[in-house]
Structure 1
Amino acid sequence: MENPSRTRCSVLIVGAGISGITAAKMLAENGVEDVVILEAADRIGGRIRKEEFGGLTVELGAGWIAGVGGKQMNPIWELARRSDLRTCYSDYSTARYNIYDNTGKIFPSGVAAESYNKAVESAIAKLRNQDSDNSVDDETATGGANINLCGFREKEFLVADERGYEHLLYKMAETFLFTSQGKILDTRLKLNKVVRELQHSRNGVLVKTEDGCIYEAQYVILSASIGVLQSNLISFSPPLPRWKTEAISNIDIMVYTKIFLKFPHKFWPCGPDKEFFIYAHQRRGYYTFWQHMENAYPGSNILVVTLTNRESKRIEAQSDEETMREAMEVLRNMFGHDIPDAIDILVPRWWNNRFQRGSYSNYPIYVNPQIVDDIKAPVGRIFFTGEHTSEKFNGYVHGGYLSGIDTSKALLEEMKAEKERKTESHKSFLLEPLLALSDAVFDIPRQLFLRSSNLGFSEAIL
């Protein structure tokens, strides 16, 4: 009797983020519908995640559609336009004119702009020096080394829609999964399924989940983040080859934390050129970059402060009350001691989320192109996808989207090639007896053949 917890499918996709959903959609459009998607969380979206806060929908993870207005159309922007997703233009460059010191004084715009420009020039000079000192030549350098200064002029739009950024994923999912009243009811999508082990061989992949379920698939698309791949959440049997593990370990994972603070009323300056402001503190990254939500949501009375990496990990380890105390101290340094206390706080914890282990991948400025190839290369029947496999757009939502397309195309080609190999093998199997008979016939002396006028071919006299 078959184990009821064992499921078989042609392709199993681990993860229902932008890459996993896109890959599944591409497979379905090409006739591969025997697909199962396992998602560890209780929702789809991955690092695209909304939450209600202060009466609004805020984005805890990916929040902007970047690279709009460049030479090529951003596919995510196109999806947003089709779905009439509400967005708001963000101009980061205005932050340089809104820099506060710890006494609440704003640096004169000329001084701030000059310091900003010097910092940019210094960074560019540093990159050029690294270029001349680096052993990797221009033709082989890739990833972050492909610096296009014109790219800085591309626009970014904040997603400000009550349906959330994740609405784009639901719109994609409903094209190939059964949905009703905005909910995905298709049994091919399985939530709360934490994959812990992949046993792979030349015949297929056995997938084991934390709740004891077993899935057998001909192929697996693994869309886990680079942070998860670097952790011990998923084990491989046999272990991944050394070239693969080295490539995975060579990519950094960035932690990007947006802390939301709700106030009874606004006390900060507003306006198109006041959306972003900076706190200049002697400790690098200490509650430095601030944004008000009035442009996107007038009357929201919400401030957002962004922390990264070391500071992100630090605040994840402390209580929200302590984080609020620190943030209020900084705000009072900027705007005076008479400002009101925040009435609510929301602190995402991407680093301590074992299903994410960070926010996005970060390629070194100079990265060996072999590492890039190894990151996205399949291991047997396991194919890898995600924003970390996108050479040009790693770290971006459109990078995850495009990687899902690329991975599904590669898998479709492999499935086609395997089918052709099996067809050729089957033909050979059927021809073997005939070939053996032919060999035997050619061993018969020529004079033993007579011509049959009825059948039209030679018959052996045996």
Structure 2
Amino acid sequence: MGVRGPTVVVIGAGIAGIGAAEKLYQNGFRHIRILEATGRSGGRIRTQSFAKGLVEIGAQWIHGPSPENLVFQLSAQYNLLGPDALLEENQKMDVGGHPPAIPVIYTSSGKNISMPLVMNLTSLYFEWLEKARNFTKDTCSPDASVGSFLRQEILRSSKEWDKDTCELNLAVLRSFLNIECCVSGTHTMDHVALCPYGEYTMFLGLDCTFPTGFESLVNRIKANLPNDTVILNKAVEKIYWDGSFQGRDSRAYPVQVQCEDGETFVADHVIVTVPLGFLKKHADNFLSPPLPLSKKQAIKNLGFGTMNKILLEFEKPFWEPNSSYIQLVWEGGSPLTEPKKDLKKNWMKKLSGFVVLEPPAQLGHILCGFIAGEESEYMESLSDEEVLFTMTSLLRQFTGNPELPPPISILRSKWHSQPYTGGSYSYVAVGSSGSDIDSLAEPLPKDKDTAKPSQVLFAGEATERNFYSTTHGALMSGQREAQRLIDRYPELGTAVSKAKL
């Protein structure tokens, strides 16, 4: 093939797809196209104007912003972060995947909960989570869930609590589990597998945000590519591989990508970076020949849930200055019993709480609520007016102030309804394991199977065994698959090095 280099088509212009294309381009690949189904790049990174400034509809934080984190490295290199994120002590902080901020807690009867009680429960709860992460395959049953494990621990501890304390403690712990469902992107922690839970790796560092929006990173990476690399509104219907397709240059290519609008693209390699939620719906007919059984099974086994945000703008804050998180505790709630399922009446009870967005001078007075699971999916079916009315009633109830002014505007995410996404991010579900993630990441055909290996490669957060559900996992996966191709064409790297001399 000489130094012309192969033709690569990337499906999906999220950070995995953009990251893969950019790495290939830097290493001498010149025939790259990214096909994006929607009208924008960024995927589940989505920054939008709201109130006085920019808010995140998708990814919110860099989780573990420290030197090992690829997203942090690039963001620092491109000067996209605020001064606090770059402080060495912030990069060395170990927050165990949860923000260290002390929450302001409101209860459903407008009562206050004493801080010592909350602190005591928080440290107990984090101990249990740490314990859950320390299981190995030898010490845990394959059908065990994080939820069932936490319930056992709660039950054991609750025997030592007196009746009044016990009720309140259980209600607070129910609220913690609602937060955990948002962290894992699941309906219930009973769906999250216990054995592989500890494989998820957390970097050190105090989570941070982008002053100019998370999309600024995607745009900055994309700026390194030629302008015509990304083709928007170009949804892919099917990938034909292991074939022989005539290109315009009269060369035969092993892969052909067919788009919904009828246009086709030929390629030597295709990198698929679509969300697991999309694969769950379309795995059976997205490729021809079809996906091998091991891959289909992995797609079926792994979890992919919904976590949505409800952003509320207020004319004036009703919360105390310096509050960073408002947690909601429904009295009478308990992690030991499953409430009756009545989404219409109770969907808002799954709302874990609100993050106070900073800084108000630039953004306005905004609370960002987080809600996961079926309740979150039900919320998407409601109108803005219905959600706004429910949020106003909820906040009046919890603050004990029936005159609390309603929010002046609302914005929310609807990740479950997005046809090319179908949810928020992946988790390792009961009945699956880290080896399913590895199966999902395996290229087709496998390197040893053919003279034309790696025709279809797979990237995206759900293909990173230790960093699934994160933007850094997504970026790493894109770069991982790019590297797989770079290693196959060493002559391109040599040509780039010579050109630089």
Distance across 2 between alignment mates of 1:128 and 1:65: 24
Higher strand share: 1
From 384, 388, 400, the counterpart of 1:320: 384
Q: Which amino acid aligns with 1:397?
A: T
- The answer to whether the Cα contact below 8 Å between 2:199 and 2:465 also exists between their aligned partners in 1 is no
1:173 aligns with 2:237: no
After TM superposition, give the deviation of residue 235 of structure 1 in Å.
1.7
2:469 aligned partner: 395
User: What is the distance in 1 between the residues matched to 2:275 and 2:21?
Assistant: 17
Aligned partner of residue 208 in structure 2, secondary structure: strand
1:260 counterpart residue number: 311
- Decide which of 99, 102, 113 is 2:119's aligned counterpart: 113
Deviation at 1:117, TM superposition (A): 2.4
The structural deviation recorded for 1:129 is 7.0
Q: Which residue of 1 aligns with 2:73?
A: 78
1:286 aligns with 2:339: no
Q: Select 1:188's aligned residue among 226, 229, 235.
A: 229
Structure 1 stretches lacking a partner, 5+ long: 1-8, 178-185, 418-462
Contact 2:360–2:366, Cα closer than 8 Å, also in 1: no
What residue identity is the alignment partner of 2:271? I
Name the aligned partner's letter for residue 82 of structure 1: Q
2:261 aligned residue = 211
**Partner amino acid for 2:62?**
I
Q: Pick which of 186-195 and 292-301 moved more.
A: 292-301
Superposed, 1:146-161 pairs within 5 Å as 146=199, 151=202, 154-161=205-212
Partner of 2:50: 53
- Give the direction of change, closer, same or farther, for the CA distance of 1:373–1:146 in structure 2 (3 Å limit): closer
C-alpha distance in structure 1 between counterparts of 2:121 and 2:242, whole Å: 57
Match of 1:100 among 103, 106, 123: 106
Equivalent runs, 1:122-141 vs 2, <5 Å: 122-125=128-131, 132-134=139-141
Structure having the higher Rg: 1
Question: RCO greater where, 1 or 2, for CA within 8 Å and sep 6 or more?
Answer: 2
| 1:359 matched to 2:396 | no
* Residues matched between the structures, number: 390
Query: What is the TM-score when the length of structure 1 is the normalising length?
Result: 0.78
Deviation at 1:355, TM superposition (A): 1.4
**Structure 2 letter corresponding to 1:172:** I
Among 341, 354, 365, the alignment partner of 2:406 is 341
Aligned equivalents of 1:414, 1:152: Cα separation in 2:
31
The one-letter amino acid paired with 2:233 is: N
Checking the alignment, whether the CA contact within 8 Å between 1:80 and 1:168 is kept in structure 2 is: yes
Larger mean CA deviation between 125-134 and 205-214 belongs to: 125-134
- Residue 218 of structure 1 deviates from its aligned partner by 1.4
Q: Which residue of 1 aligns with 2:437?
A: 372
Cα separation, 1, equivalents of 2:329 and 2:476: 37
Q: Is residue 200–residue 468 contact of structure 2 (8 Å, CA) maintained in 1? A: no
2: distance between equivalents of 1:260 and 1:353? 18
Q: Which structure 2 segments of 5+ residues have no match? A: 1-5, 144-193, 245-253, 334-338, 340-347, 446-454, 492-501
Q: Distance in 1 between matches of 2:222 and 2:101?
A: 38
Summarize the Cα distance change of 1:399–1:331 in structure 2 as closer, same or farther, 3 Å threshold: same
| Superposition TM-score, scaled by structure 2 size | 0.72
Helix, strand or coil: the match of 1:404? helix
Q: Percent identity?
A: 27
Note if contact 2:461-2:470 (Cα within 8 Å) is conserved in structure 1: yes
Aligned residue in 2 for 1:457: none
Offset at residue 38 of structure 1 (A): 0.4
Q: Are the equivalent residues in 2 in contact too, given 1:50–1:60 (CA < 8 A)?
A: yes
Q: Report if aligned partners of 2:377, 2:416 keep a CA contact under 8 Å in 1.
A: yes
